[in-house]
Amino acid sequence: MSNENELLASVSDVSTESEFFSPIPAGYKKGKTRYCFVLGTVMSGLGKGILSSCLALLMQNKGLKIAPIKLEGYLNIDSGTLNPFRHGEVFVLDDGMECDMDLGTYERMLNQNLSGANFATSGQIFRAVLDKERHGDYLGRDVQMIPHVTGEVKLKLRKLAMQTDADIVFVEIGGTVGDLENAYYIEAMRELAYEEGPKSCCFIALTYILEPKVLGEQKSKAAQLGIKQIMRCGVQPDIIACRASNPVNIKARQKISIYSNVPVERVISMPDSSSIYMIPAMLKDCGLDFEVARLLNIEDRISLRNERKQWLKWCDFTDKIGQEKHEITIGITGKYTSVRDSYASIINALEHSGIVLGCKVKIKWIETTNITDKTAAEHLSDVDGIIVPGGFGTRGAEGKIACVKYVRENNIPYLGICFGFQMAVIEFARNVCGLKNANSTEIEPDCTQPVINILPEQKKIEGLGGNMRLGGRDIEIKPQTFTHKLFNKSEMVRMRFRHRYEVDPKYIEQLEEAGMLFSGKAPEHPIMQILEIPKHPFFIGTQAHPCLTSRPLKTQPMFVGLVAAAMRKHYPNENMPDCIEAVRKVCNRND
């Protein structure tokens, strides 16, 4: 047996006789999949997910199969109970996994539907280890961080490689190298690189170059110390990406090169960009994609023809950035407006739609806590459309209802998402149907006219997060409706959900008789999922979160329709296409 086969046999051995403990899935072929690890230094929030997803896009364009995964250090099983103020929005995958917002970045960049296999937390890893310990899977060994916990991490990565048949698995480790909870992740990556062998793995460190205004020069010492921390973990970075407000000068890059043993041509500058969608071109100009292909010895799998074709499509989109001829303002009424990451998917969906329609979309953030019917006009007088986004709890709900009333009565384009759908139903029930006590039992548990309620089948499910409708679901579209036209006359569409409360079926007939039309529902169930007001220029609400599936090269019809309707409102004397025409032109092209 060769040395390589001996090593593979030893790391597969989970007996009590061997110190090599690295469980490998049956059928796993060493060397087929390469691994690219992205780590952060200095501070979090620099854009590891953006760097990783943009580089992954470039490699995917070369005809390679890509599988991303985000490793989070916190002990939560998923991101579902995290406060948006602390961690940004919760991104929901099609299979119902509630995860980090970086998964949204990967889906948008790679135009892929990801799953729970692409996301892991320390809570998931530790639970899997403890379940195995209770089941006796460790054959009486004392269970330790090394090799058992690190072995579980490696097992998850290798399973993902097999499930997706990936050429490259991109592994992003959340936080920074200095975080205590990330130490075992980094150790697992070191072990994986050792076990997989030379040319199997590539380590990329994202760091930050300080540029204090009082000094007027770039300082790399913090970056040097951060890189040193990675090297102390036994990891030698192959590439270092330097984030900064301005392009990083050659002196700073040379200093980092000297202290890190990384050639200066692989110490690249990543200055701030006006749009994340311009970053792939920035990385391509640095030759980073070919450096990664060379480091991973994977050049023979590249299709240059596919790369040219896909890059032309991407450039067709990005060439429009900054060339917009029109400008509109969309108000977003929410309770987390002080933290923009709370609405990352909505911001991206608006950007996608604005770019393809040649319109710059400005966002006006509107905190609704103190808005009333009397003050709504002063907050909304300068907007061309509004979005009432998802949310939980009672704070700001009455302000949102006041905003819905104002835009409905004044023909301002409206898109209600999840909670915004529910607020539109309550407002219509109160002010059109005459149900003055209409409310949601989430806001007022004992209300006498609960037009929004938890349905009986939802009440049977126990536990916070457990009784939520989560993930992708089909929506049956009513023919000849505005929504039907918006989705190119499709009779079934799929969107993602994250909610507990529904329209109570006993009020549906009364609402529709008064002029509200439920144009989308759950197949075979009286669960209303899309509403519209036919006599309004653009008034749509959905119980789903359409922003979660909007992508640069596949824009979401509801957002394109909203932006197009807002353009017609802002420029009444110009020959703007109506929203159906705009959606047909843009979204059909995407298809």
3-state secondary structure 427-477: HHHHHCCCCCCEEECCCCCCCCEEEEECCHHHHCCCCCCCCCEEEEEEEEE
What is the percent of the chain with per-residue pLDDT over 90, rounded to a whole number? 80
How confident is the model over 516-530, as pLDDT tens digits? 999 999 998 889 999
Instruction: Check residue 2 and give its pLDDT.
Output: 47
Whether the predicted pLDDT of 76 surpasses 70: yes
Question: Domain 9-317 belongs to what topology?
Answer: Rossmann fold (3.40.50)
- CA–CA dist 226, 269 (Å, integer): 16
Please report which confidence band the pLDDT of residue 545 belongs to, taking 50, 70 and 90 as the band edges.
very high
Same fold, 9-317 and 326-590: yes
Per domain, the residue ranges of the chain are 9-317, 326-590
Q: Binning pLDDT at 50, 70 and 90, where does residue 342 land?
A: confident
What is the DSSP pairing of strand 469-477 with strand 492-499? antiparallel
Residue 430 phi, psi dihedral angles, 5° rounding: -70, -50
Burial profile 186-202: b = 16 or more Cβ within 10 angstroms, e = fewer: bbbbbbbbebbeeebbb
Mean pLDDT of 148-165: 96
Query: What is the structure's pLDDT at 15?
Result: 57
Query: Could you give the CA distance from residue 384 to residue 361 in angstroms, rounded to a whole number?
Result: 10
> Does residue 493 have a pLDDT over 90?
yes
Contact by Cβ (8 Å): 574, 560: no
Is residue 87's pLDDT more than 80?
no
Q: Over range 381-393, report the average pLDDT.
A: 90
pLDDT of residue 14: 57
Query: What's the CA dihedral at 546, 547, 550, 552 to 10 degrees?
Result: 160
C-alpha pair distances (Å), 137 with each of 132, 188, 195, 238, 458 = 5, 20, 22, 36, 36
Cα 17 to Cα 482: distance, rounded to the nearest angstrom: 68
Q: Does 339 score more than 70 pLDDT? A: no
Q: What is the pLDDT of residue 338?
A: 59
> In sequence order, which residues have a C-beta less than 8 Å from that of residue 557 and are 6 or more positions away?
486, 487, 488, 546, 583, 587
* Cβ count within 10 A of residue 299: 10
Position 336 confidence tier, pLDDT thresholds 50, 70, 90: low
- Give the per-residue pLDDT at 159: 97
**What CA–CA distance (Å, rounded) separates 45 from 208?**
10
Give the per-residue pLDDT at 1: 39
Per mean pLDDT, which range of 252-256, 360-364, 583-587 is the poorest? 583-587
pLDDT at position 321 is 95
Among the listed residues 103, 27, 101, 34, the one whose alpha carbon sits nearest the alpha carbon of residue 62: 34
Residues in the chain: 591
- Which pLDDT score, from 0 to 100, does residue 85 have? 67
pLDDT at 463: 42
Amino acid at 457: E
For range 449-462, the mean pLDDT: 71
Backbone angles phi, psi at 353, to 5 degrees: -65, -40
pLDDT at 450 over 90: yes
pLDDT single digits (tens) 224-233: 999 999 999 9
Which of 235-239, 341-345, 573-577 is modeled with the greatest confidence? 235-239
pLDDT at 571 over 70: yes
- Average pLDDT, stretch 453-475? 68
Q: Average pLDDT of 576-584?
A: 89
Which residue type occupies 498? R
**pLDDT of 464 strictly over 50:** no
**404 closest CA partner among 436, 382, 379:** 379
- CATH assignment of 326-590, among 3.40.50.620, 3.10.290.10, 3.40.50.880, 3.60.10.10: 3.40.50.880
pLDDT value of residue 17: 66
CA distances from 558 to 77, 295, 348, 352 (A): 32, 43, 13, 12
Q: Is the peptide bond before 450 cis (omega within 30 degrees of 0)?
A: no
Which pLDDT does position 6 carry in this prediction? 45
